[in-house]
Each structure stands twice: as structure tokens, then as C-alpha cells.
Amino acid sequence: MQNVDHLVIGAGAMGSATAWQLASQGKEVALIEQFGAAHNKGSSHGGTRIFRLSYRTPLYTDLAARALPDWRELEADTQEHLLEQNGQLDHGYKEAIDEIAISLDRHNRPYERMNASEAHARWPGMNFEDHVIYSPDGGRCFADKTVETLINRSRELGAQVQLNTPVLSIALDGDFAIVETATQTWRTPSLVVAAGGWVNKLIGHIVKLPDLIVDAGQPAHFQPKANLAAESYWPSFLHHGANGRGGSPLEASAYGLYTPGEGFKVGTWSDRKAIDPDNRDFEISQKHLTEMKEYVAHWFPGLDIESAVATTCLFTNTPEEDFILDRRGPITVCSPCSGHGFKFVPTIGKITAELALGGKQNTPRWQLPN
Ligand SMILES: Cc1cc2nc3c(=O)[nH]c(=O)nc-3n(C[C@H](O)[C@H](O)[C@H](O)COP(=O)(O)OP(=O)(O)OC[C@H]3O[C@@H](n4cnc5c(N)ncnc54)[C@H](O)[C@@H]3O)c2cc1C
């Protein structure tokens, strides 16, 4: 039996950030991951993720405003460039864009509002639905690089990192959690479960979780046409479509951003069904790809539709697309972070480390159900 003060399961973005935070504070921590570093079977892989303050929900604009200095702190700590603020466009129905403006006003963050034709004149590779808002604070995080950086930095700071080590079971023993792998038994007063789409399988029997929907997203990269190849034509975007998904404040009908070396990534939500993360086929849905190309043909005159290269990624969402960041006994749950968590990575690492150190979750939307 090996004792450790803090044990983190899952070296995706969130678990790695938590281990980084705990190790930064001089705490004894072990980080266990079933696959390799920055693997492609969970939710955190790929070149980029959108960073934006432009949320309709003030809670997440507040969190993104907090994340901005946290990203810069992580960059300073690791000497890596992980966040680039190359702008964010939101377009769609008025209510959504008005709410974003209100959220940005709360933080006195700059933005420009315009109509669809004004926006198209400025970014001719894209078509827009009225109304449009541009936030220069938005941009992109470099996803794989962030995860690798966090794992490496945690190790440098003293964390024990075990990759390719699946956790086979978790049980409670009074105020301790007992964690089994094939070769070790761990005993810890503070277990952080940051297992993304696997969270229910790992702790559903001991912690009451909200209903979770695990499914595979299928974004695709498209090459810009030659006259629009400059990156400045391609800020990140979210489309709040009046006719598509996009009714509730955390939903949008499409999103996308530029990934250096890969092209402009676009994601839409069609054809998603519940999956078991241990039994995925990783196959590209041709139906989804066809619908995606139709979307791109209409909204992105500057992209070459036939250049599409699709990939899959695990989404794990709560019904409201909120996060679970809360503690029950020795177990802190940092999962899932739904389809929009990456932009908050260093801050979620801090929040989760605080919980692991005995803090309380005071934000009702991130609490576990009773
Ligand atoms: C297609 C797609 C696009 C996205 N776009 C954006 C975006 O533009 N902006 C944004 O902010 N967010 C975005 N997100 C969301 C963001 O990527 C996720 O919120 C984030 O990556 C979740 O990280 P995680 O660490 O919780 O999960 P994961 O990365 O899945 O990590 C969980 C880890 O736990 C490990 N694990 C599970 N079970 C075990 C076990 N038994 N033993 C050991 N290890 C285990 C897994 O192997 C995995 O590595 C997107 C997500 C997807 C899927």
C-alpha cells in the first residue's frame, strides 16, 4: 500500500492542471493516466481550442477573465507560448449578441458590434448572420502543447507521474480513498478524479453525479483559399444560429478557429449519439461530414470545402453544459468540463487544487447534486 497526500486520476487538461497547481504549492501529489501524454482518446487532444470572454452567461465570462492572467502565469512558469489572443467573433440572433455585450461590459472589455455585411467586408472568408460582435480578447489555446507542458512541469515540481497506468477500482475506507492499479494500491485522503468521459465508470458507484452525456464530436479542418491564406482573416468564431442549436445560453450551432499548420477548424453538432469511451470506433461519420461541408459551403466562402480533414473528440456534458468542481469526503470531482472547458484550464487547476486542500465549492452551478 502506497500512501500519498493527493492522487489525481486523469492527465487530460484538467487533471494535469490540478497536479501542476498542487505541485507548485509544494504538495505531495501523484498523477495517474491510463494512456500516454496528450493521447487522442479523450477530450483534450488536438492543436487548438477557442479562448473567449464572450459568453452569454456572466459566470463564464467572469471565469475567462480570471483565466487570462492564470494563462500568463502558466506561460511565465513554463516559458511556453500557450494562449494567443487573435480575436473572437460571435454572430447570430440579437438576444445572444446583446447578452455577450452585457457580459463584456461587466468587465469593461473592449468589443465592436457590426452587421453581417460590415463583418463580411472585414473578414471576407466568412459569411455572417446579423448580429455580429468582435472581441479582441478572444483567440486560441494550444491544446496538446498545454497538456504536455502541464505534465512536464508537474513532474519538474516533484509530482509522481505514471502514464499508461489504468486505475482499475476506487473504494472508500473511512476518510481515505483506496485506488487500485494493476501493480499498486494507493491510499490517500485526497483523491481528485479528473477522468473526463470515464468519470461515471470510475466513481458513479460512490459519488452521486448529475446525468452525463458522453458522445463524440467531429470537427474538421479546412484549408483557406489562396487569396485568404493570411491568419489575420481567421479569428475564432461562434455561430448562435437562430434556426439551429443555439437556444440556451451555453449552446451555439457552430464554432471554429484557425489551427496553425492544419487550417481552419469548424465544428457543428449534428449526428451525435451517446457512446462508451472504452468502445469507440473512431470512425468518421460521412453523414456528419456531408452536413458540415454544406454548412461550410454556405457560411465560409473563403474555405476549400474539398480539403476537409475530420477528426473525433470525446464530449462529456452535463445537461446544462456546466462543470462539476466539487468535493465529497476524500473525493474531489473535476469533471467533466463539457464542450467548453479548455479555455479555463489553469484556473480550473487552481479551483480544483483549492477543493483538494479542503476548500468549499460556493458556486451552485458547479456543485455535485445532493
Ligand atoms: C471537439 C471538441 C472541441 C472543443 N473545443 C473547445 C474549445 O474550442 N474551447 C474550449 O474551451 N473547450 C473546448 N472543448 C472542451 C475541452 O477540450 C474539454 O473541456 C477538456 O479538454 C476536458 O478535459 P478533461 O481533462 O476533463 O478530460 P480528458 O482530456 O478526457 O481527460 C481525462 C483523462 O482521464 C483519463 N482516465 C480516465 N479513466 C482513467 C482511468 N481509469 N485510469 C487512469 N486514467 C483515466 C483519460 O485517459 C483522460 O486522459 C472541446 C472539446 C471537444 C471534444
Q: What is the mean pLDDT of the chain?
A: 95
Q: Which residues, judged by CB distance below 6 Å to any ligand atom, belong to the binding site of ligand 1?
A: 9-15, 32-35, 42-44, 49-50, 166-167, 194-198, 202, 217, 219, 255, 267, 313-315, 335-343
Nearest CA among 62, 7, 17 for reference residue 350: 17
Q: Kindly compute the dihedral angle of the four CA atoms of residues 232, 237, 242, 245, in this order, to the nearest 10 degrees.
A: 150
User: Given 3-state DSSP classes, what are the helix, strand and coil percentages for the chain, each rounded to the nearest 5?
Assistant: 30, 25, 40
Gap between the Cα atoms of 125 and 122, Å rounded:
9
Gap between the Cα atoms of 361 and 351, Å rounded:
9
Asked if pLDDT for residue 307 goes beyond 90, the answer is: yes
Burial of 286 (0-12, 13-18, 19+ CB in 10 A): exposed
Task: State which of 35, 41, 44, 270 you would mutate to test the pocket of ligand 1, scoring each by most atoms of that ligand within 8 A of its C-beta.
Answer: 44
- With vertex at residue 57, the alpha carbon angle to CA 54 and CA 60, rounded to the nearest 5 degrees, is 70
For the stretch 135-186, pLDDT in tens is 999 999 999 999 999 999 999 999 999 999 999 999 999 999 999 999 999 9
Q: Give the cell for residue 317.
A: 456534458
Options 3.40.50.300, 3.50.50.60, 1.10.3720.10, 3.90.1150.10; which CATH number does 2-366 get? 3.50.50.60
Gap between the Cα atoms of 330 and 7, Å rounded:
10
pLDDT value at position 247? 64
Q: Which atom of ligand 1 is nearest to the CA of 181?
A: 42
How much is the pTM? 0.97
pLDDT value at position 271? 61
Q: Which atom of ligand 1 is nearest to the CA of 343?
A: 11
Gap between the Cα atoms of 180 and 132, Å rounded:
51
For the stretch 75-101, pLDDT in tens is 999 999 999 999 999 999 999 999 999
Q: Where are the domains of the chain?
A: 2-366
